[in-house]
Amino acid sequence: MSEATVDNGRRVWLISTCAMGGVGAAAVAVPFVSSFQPSARARAAGASVEVDISRLQPGEKMVVEWRGRPVWVLYRTPEMIASLEVVEPRLADPQSERRVFPTPEYALNRHRSIKPQYLVAVGVCTHFGCSPTSRFTPGDQPGLPNDWPGGFFCPCHGSAFDLSGRVFANMPAPDNLEIPPHQYLTDTMLLVGEDQQA
């Protein structure tokens, strides 16, 4: 056997060993790096969700998922904000005093929010858990009162909520929409799932 044949055999063996070692290292590294991300179970249990609201325009709503439920972020216009006081006599719990859900202290106001222009609410009806639809345009519309001020309407059983997620009186839904814990990391970055005190 020549010396060249022995060197080629060693080369093949060396390259194969290095390749297998690289594959093994990658197989170990991928799960290790992935472990830094919250698991699906942790996210479902309540891991916080960062939301970039920089592209949201006045009058628009975006939906993100937190704890397996839809969370609405509504950028309210000045007209929407003005309507909140006008509708209070028609609401079942305008001050969120019933507190079936643990309402954060900073949401115990007319806006039910930290910043008046942004509503952050869990988009699940408090009656049977359907998701209400956005009906922001005021006025006469099919299935709504002639003097509809704008808000949210649940198509399942007809519950209606104002633009702060407060339920109108004499509706099937017994309570206002839930306000999740949240905070602003910057003017355009929202963190859903954690209060500032946490």
Cβ(73)–Cβ(145) below 8 Å: no
Query: Domain holding 64: CATH number?
Result: 2.102.10.10
Evaluate whether residue 133 is within a structural domain.
yes
* In a shared domain, residues 91 and 120: yes
* In a shared domain, residues 19 and 58: no
Evaluate whether residue 164 is within a structural domain.
yes
Question: Six-digit token pair at 175?
Answer: 């309570």
* In a shared domain, residues 57 and 147: yes
Number of domains in the chain: 2
pLDDT value of position 66: 94
Q: Which structural domain, as residue segments, surrounds residue 4?
A: 1-37
Evaluate whether residue 96 is within a structural domain.
yes
* In a shared domain, residues 4 and 73: no
pLDDT value of position 33: 46
C-alpha–C-alpha distance, residues 97 and 112, integer Å: 12
Evaluate whether residue 11 is within a structural domain.
yes
Evaluate whether residue 146 is within a structural domain.
yes
* pLDDT tens digits, one per residue of 99-143: 777 889 999 999 999 999 999 999 999 987 889 999 999 988 887
* In a shared domain, residues 93 and 142: yes
Residue 133, number of CB atoms within 10 A of its CB: 10
Positions in the chain whose pLDDT score sits under 70: 1-9, 12, 14, 18, 22-46, 197-198
Cβ(188)–Cβ(52) below 8 Å: yes
Evaluate whether residue 198 is within a structural domain.
no
* In a shared domain, residues 80 and 111: yes
C-alpha–C-alpha distance, residues 182 and 162, integer Å: 20
* In a shared domain, residues 2 and 93: no
Coil vs helix vs strand at 70: strand
pLDDT value of position 146: 82
**Catalytic status, residue 157:** yes
User: Is 0.85 surpassed by the pTM of this model?
Assistant: no
* In a shared domain, residues 179 and 113: yes
C-alpha–C-alpha distance, residues 122 and 131, integer Å: 9
pLDDT value of position 28: 60
pLDDT value of position 133: 93
pLDDT value of position 196: 73
* In a shared domain, residues 65 and 145: yes
* In a shared domain, residues 121 and 155: yes
Edge-to-edge strand order for the sheet containing 133-135? 133-135, 151-153, 160-161
pLDDT value of position 181: 95
**Which DSSP state fits 44?**
H
Tokens 């929010």 found at: 113
* In a shared domain, residues 67 and 1: no
Evaluate whether residue 42 is within a structural domain.
no
**C-alpha 49 chain-centroid distance:** 7
Catalytic residue among 111, 127, 157, 182: 157
* In a shared domain, residues 82 and 174: yes
pLDDT value of position 79: 95
pLDDT value of position 102: 80
Evaluate whether residue 197 is within a structural domain.
no
Cβ(105)–Cβ(149) below 8 Å: no
b/e map of 43-81 (b: 16 or more CB within 10 Å)? Answer: beebbbbebebeebeeeebeebebeeeebbbbbbbeebb
pLDDT value of position 26: 59
